[in-house]
Amino acid sequence: MGGLTAGGEEGGRRVYERLRAGERAAGRLLAADDDGRRDEGGGVLRTFRAAGRGAALAGVSLAVSCGLFCLVLVSLCLIPLGVGLITTPPVLAVIREYALGRRLRAREWGGVRIGVAYRPLPPLAPGFAGEAGLCLALLRDPATWRDIGWLFLDCTAGVILPVLAPLVLLYPGWGAVLAAGGWRIFEDSPEWYLFVPVDSQATGLLALALGVVIGLTARWSAPAFVQAYFRLTRAVLAPSREQEMAARINRLTATREDAVDTSAAELRRIERDLHDGAQARLVAVGMDLGLIESLVERDPAKAKELLGKARQSSAEALGELRDLVRGIHPPVLAERGLVDAVRALALRLPVEAEVVADVPGRAEAPVEAAAYFATSELLANAVKHAGADRIWIDLGYREGRLRISVGDNGGGGATAAKGTGLAGVERRLGTFDGVLAVSSPPGGPTLATVELPCVLS
- CA 285/CA 310 separation, integer angstroms: 5
| 258-328: CATH architecture | Up-down Bundle (1.20)
pLDDT score at 145 = 92
pLDDT in tens, 365-401: 888 888 888 888 888 888 887 777 889 999 998 878 8
pLDDT in tens, 239-279: 777 766 766 666 666 656 555 555 556 566 666 656 666 66
Region at 261 (left for phi over 0; alpha for psi -120 to 50; beta for the rest): alpha
**Helix, strand, coil share of the chain (percent; to 5):** 70, 10, 20
**Omega prior to 445 cis, within 30 of 0:** yes
Homologous superfamily in CATH for domain 333-453: Histidine kinase-like ATPase, C-terminal domain (3.30.565.10)
In terms of pTM, does the model score above 0.85?
A: no
pLDDT in tens, 273-303: 566 666 666 777 777 777 777 777 777 777 7
Q: Which of 295, 237, 248, 293 is nearest to 100 (CA)?
A: 237
Q: How far is CA 193 from the centre of its chain?
A: 47
Beta-carbon count within 10 A of 381 CB: 24
17 vs 4: which has the higher pLDDT: 17
Domain boundaries, the chain: 1-239, 258-328, 333-453
What residues contact 301, with CB distance under 8 A and at least 6 apart? none
pLDDT in tens, 151-180: 999 988 888 888 888 888 777 777 777 777
- CA 96/CA 143 separation, integer angstroms: 9
- CA 351/CA 381 separation, integer angstroms: 13
Q: In what order do the strands lie in the sheet with 390-398?
A: 352-358, 390-398, 401-408, 446-453, 435-439
